Structure 1
Amino acid sequence: MLQRIKEIFAYKDMIYSLVRRELRGRYKGSVLGFLWTYINPLCQIIVYSAVFSVIFKVNIEKFYLYLTIGMMPWVFFNTSIQGGSTCIRAQADMVKKIYFPREVIPISYVTSAFVNMLLSFIIVFGVILLSGWGISVSVLPYLPLIMIIEYLLALGIAFVVSAVTVYFRDLEQIVGVLMMAWIYLTPIMYDMDYIPEQLRSLFYINPMTPIIIAYHDILYYRVAPTTQCLLQSGLTSLFFLVLGFGLFRRLDRNFAEEL
Structure 2
Amino acid sequence: MAIKADGLAGVGKTGYLSLIFRGFRYYRGFLSHQLDLLWHLVKRDFTLRYKGSVLGILWSLLLPLAQLLVLVFLFQRVIPLGIDAYPAFVFTALLPWTWFSSCLNSAGSLFLSNRDLIKKPGFPPCILVGVNTLSNLLLFLVVLPVLVIMIVAFYGKPLTPYFLLLPLLLVVNVVLIWGVSLFVATLNVFYRDIQYIVSVFVMLLFYLTPVFYSTSAITEGYRFLYNLNPVAVLIQSYRAVIFFGRAPEWGFLFIASVLSLLSCVVGYVFYRKKLHEIVDYI
Aligned to 1:63: 86
Opposite residue 222 of structure 1, the aligned amino acid is: G
1:121-172 deviation line (CA, Å, top 9, x unaligned): 1221121123233233321111111111111111111111111111111011
Q: Which residue of 2 aligns with 1:238?
A: 261
Closer, same or farther in 2 for the Cα pair 1:4/1:114, shift >3 Å? farther
Q: Secondary structure in 2 aligned to 1:181?
A: helix
- DSSP 3-state at the match of 1:11: helix
- Aligned match for 2:138, one of 70, 93, 115: 115
* Deviates most, 135-144 or 238-247: 135-144
Q: Which residue of 2 aligns with 1:84?
A: 107
TM alignment of 1:105-254, pairs within 5 A: 105-254=128-277
The Cα shift of 1:65 comes to 0.8
Alignment RMSD, CA only?
1.8
> CA-to-partner distance for each residue in 1:28-56, whole Å, 9 max, x for gaps?
11111111111111111111111121222
Compared CA separation, residues 79 and 182, structure 1 to 2 (3 A): same
TM-score relative to the length of structure 1: 0.94
Structure 1: distance between partners of 2:155 and 2:86 = 14
Q: d(CA) in 2 for partners of 1:107 and 1:5?
A: 19
Decide which moves more: 181-190 or 227-236: 227-236
TM-score, structure 2 as length reference: 0.86
Q: Distance in 2 between matches of 1:88 and 1:119?
A: 27
Partner of 1:13: 36
Contact 2:180 2:267 (8 Å CA) reproduced: yes
Distance change >3 Å, CA 6–CA 83, structure 1 → 2: farther
The answer to whether the aligner puts 1:44 opposite 2:67 as a matched pair is yes
Distance 1:68 1:93 in 2: 38
Of all paired residues, the percent bearing the same amino acid is 25
Total equivalences in the alignment: 257
Q: 1:108 is matched by which residue type in structure 2?
A: V
> Bigger radius of gyration, 1 or 2?
2
Structure-1 separation of matches of 2:155 and 2:72: 18
Distance 1:50 1:225 in 2: 28
CA shift for structure 1 position 220: 1.8
Q: Which amino acid aligns with 2:155?
A: G
Task: Provide structure 1 residue ranges, at least 5 long, that are not aligned to the other structure.
Answer: none
One-letter identity of the residue aligned with 1:74:
W
2:179/2:264 contact within 8 Å kept? yes
Bigger drift between 151-160 and 96-105 goes to: 96-105
Please report how far the alpha carbon of residue 252 of structure 1 lies from its aligned counterpart in structure 2 after TM superposition: 1.8
Which of structure 1's runs of 4+ aligned residues deviate more than 4 A? 3-9
